[in-house]
Structure 1
């Protein structure tokens, strides 16, 4: 199908983009990589009169250090996140999760910030961002503000961004020296996760000193597996400990039942995949 007619705007700075979005009002869409938006436009499930393309704003791209944080521009592509040496060294979980996103074509065009702003609970980058306590920086006519990942994702395809705001960067604490693994289950290659588990672990002397575990597609937003984390910390990194902790993975979750799986099966997957993810991260 062919999208409905719209005006195309390509600002060169964040300020220009914010101003263009404010001028356009509610009848506008922001284009990042376009991997989610373009199919919606073609099916005419959305018909904005204005499309604001962020692709020509250089300040929204790249990865840099800021003390104990990594700062990732919202328009940094998945391909760039996969291969960036700073991310591989200090935020390995993000790189590993990004490795599983769709296919090479999508990873070359899709963007890190676009995936987070889209807020699909089946998306592979939301749970890692939550597990790593990422801070999402947005800009609007009233200036910039920073939203913790735990507050950013509100519901299906819904974020805490206000009308007229644009996601400009993501600030992630450094997890230098932590091991990590992202485990997902999908029906076919390139498909969305039926369930995914993002785990990053810090060990000391064979014991688990700290653990962060995030779950993909186990609710309308990504969730932390707090019970698993509590069961792991302070324990030896053994297969028995990991298996017992993984049994708590589905605690407090509310997965949906759909054409891919029912809620009970997703809870089973969460327990199995959590065990695999943690075991792979610590080499158990």
Structure 2
């Protein structure tokens, strides 16, 4: 299939991109790596009048550290973050997740921010943003704003990005000493979207944060006690039911709940063991 007709703007500066988005309003879409948007265009699930290409804007392809946070620009490809030398020390959870994001060919073109903008509930990077308390920096021609993951994801493939806005960058807090992280995923094959994915963050002497993707319309997180606590299994079971799993061609709702309980426990235990 072929996409519906659209105008194309190859932005050479952020101002040019924001001006094109402001002019296009609801009919304009940002394109970066295109690994999510292009298939939607070809199947005519998306029919923007204007595509604004931001991959030629200087500075958007930077990964930087400042004030205890790692900032990733809108032009950073997934493979660039995966190969960023400090990643395993500064963001070990993201380092563990990235090899599960699609396949190598997809990561070589897809962008980190593009995956977040697409907001597939089974994708790994939205789960990382929620688990780690990441933030999304949005920008339009007139304003800037920063949203938490909880405020950014609104529903299945729906975000808080408004008309004329684009994701300029995202940021994660750097890994703190004494914190343990872990990631586990079940998919039909490595690189496919997750049937269930679990990410856990265990801070020293405190509750463990467990985030789950692939079940609800958006990633969800819960604070849990140590697995040795008598109430752990009940709280995890309650969380599994709260995700309102549904049957689909990949798995039944019951199987997904079972995975949340079993995979969730293993991920939490691993995160606690990895505290350093």
- TM-score normalised according to structure 1 size: 0.88
Q: 2:263 aligns with which of 273, 277, 280?
A: 273
After superposing the two structures, state which structure 1 stretch, 102-111 or 24-33, moved more.
Answer: 24-33
Structure 1 residues 4-35: Cα deviation after superposition (integer angstroms, max 9, x where no partner): 33221111222211111111232222112111
Aligned to 2:81: 81
Q: Secondary structure at the match of 2:251?
A: coil
Per-residue deviation, 1:172: 1.4
1:4 aligned onto 2:1: no
**Could you tell me how far 1:65 is from its partner in structure 2?**
1.1
Matched, 1:181 2:182: yes
Aligned-partner Cα distance in 2 for 1:248–1:83: 38
Distance 1:78 1:212 in 2: 25
C-alpha distance after superposition, 1:145-165 (max 9, x if no partner) = 001111110111111121111
1:215 aligns with 2:209: no
Taking a change above 3 Å as real, the CA distance of residues 76 and 242 of structure 1, as seen in their structure-2 partners, is farther
Task: State the partner residue of 2:167.
Answer: 167
Q: Any residues of structure 2 matched to 1:46-61 within 5 Å, and which?
A: 46-61=46-61
Q: Is the 8 A contact 2:137 2:145 kept in 1?
A: yes
CA separation in 1, counterparts of 2:119 and 2:235?
Answer: 28
Q: How many residues align?
A: 273
Q: Distance in 2 between matches of 1:78 and 1:249?
A: 31
Q: Report the alpha carbon displacement of residue 114 of structure 1 after superposing the two structures with TM.
A: 0.5
User: How many angstroms apart in 2 are the aligned matches of 1:242 and 1:63?
Assistant: 38
Tell me, what secondary structure is at the counterpart of 1:26?
A: helix
User: 1:31-63: per-residue Cα shift (whole Å, max 9, x none)?
Assistant: 121111111111222232221111111222121
Query: Structure 1 pair 244/18, CA: closer, same or farther in 2 (3 Å)?
Result: same
What's the counterpart of residue 243 of structure 2?
Answer: 253
Q: Is the 8 A contact 1:13 1:59 kept in 2?
A: no
Normalised by the length of structure 2, the TM-score is: 0.90
Consecutive unaligned residues of structure 2, counting only runs of 5 or more, are none
SS in 2 for 1:110: coil
Superposition pairs of residues 37-186 of structure 1, within 5 angstroms: 37-177=37-177, 178-186=179-187
Deviates more, 1:244-253 or 1:210-219: 244-253
Distance 2:95 2:161 in 1: 25
Q: State the shift of 1:99 in Å.
A: 1.7
